[in-house]
Structure 1
Amino acid sequence: MNAGQDKVRIDKWLWAARFFKTRSLATDAVDGGRVHLNGERVKPARTLKVGDVVRVQAEHGEFTVTVLALAERRGSAEVARTLYEESAESIRKREALDFERSLAPQLDPSQVKGRPTKKFRRQIERFNSGG
């Protein structure tokens, strides 16, 4: 975190805040419309300020966060958590989605090619019968 810094590119900040593993993934997400700044779709070079609201759709969930601090360099996870504050509604939505996923049947495709194993065949039959 740089205290004298008042603006940073949104793709750099998303990477530093650990929403994406690489900066190129963050750039692709911004280009793909999965990142909105203050309700608007933006480009990767758009600057971010403290107090901005960012909505991010990442592989591990959808987040609505308020920017608390700026950083251009990626640090530890503890430092990354200090860069933003997630809204209560965002947390509630993610937890509800995680709960729904936990209720969905989990198939174990241990053998993707060839004939299914006896265990996998039983899981398929259980899934297809609704039980």
Structure 2
Amino acid sequence: MAGEGRQRIDKWLFFSRAVKSRSLAAKLVQGGGVRNNGQKLGQASDIVKSGDVLTITLDRRILVYKILLPGERRGPAEEARKLYEDLSPVPTPKDQAPPDALPPVREAGSGRPTKKERRATDRLRSE
């Protein structure tokens, strides 16, 4: 470890159960999916410490964690939750659309042409 209360970002992500493996954590960091206090991290070997705020962009969600402790091992989920304070925004329920979203509108007959309409189009083109 680099110092007391400090740890590599890939190890911390793995120990906190944000990702399933250290190699996935390294790919996430190198791909630009992790920010530390607003700054993009570029390498899996970057060091994080207690008090840092991580913004982790995963496929379907954004996690915002404040680091409380460095991890020592990948233990059960109860142990992993003690490593961070979750500051993530509350996700919207799947059955509710955002209030400003409009329902999709499609005019009648604007979909795919019927067989009859395709034949009429073919006749027009052949003439």
TM-score over 0.5 (shorter chain): yes
Matched with 1:23 is 22
2:80 paired with 1:80: yes
Q: Secondary structure at the match of 2:66?
A: strand
Cα distance between partner residues in 1 of 2:70 and 2:27: 20
Unaligned runs of 5+ in 2: 98-110, 112-127
Q: Secondary structure at the match of 1:91?
A: coil
Contact 2:6 2:47 in 1 (8 A): yes
Cα distance between partner residues in 2 of 1:25 and 1:7: 20
2:9 paired with 1:10: yes
Cα distance between partner residues in 2 of 1:11 and 1:82: 17
Contact 2:5 2:69 in 1 (8 A): no
Unaligned runs of 5+ in 1: 105-127
* Equivalent residues, number: 95
Tell me how large the CA RMSD over aligned residues is: 2.0
CA deviation after TM superposition for structure 1 residue 65, in Å: 1.0
Identity across aligned pairs (percent)?
Answer: 39
Cα distance between partner residues in 2 of 1:51 and 1:61: 22
Contact 1:67 1:85 in 2 (8 A): yes
* TM-score of the pair, normalised by structure 1: 0.66
1:6-61 deviations in whole A, cap 9, x for unaligned?
21000100010001001100000000000001101112111110000000012352
* TM-score of the pair, normalised by structure 2: 0.68
Bigger radius of gyration among the two: 2
CA deviation after TM superposition for structure 1 residue 5, in Å: 3.5
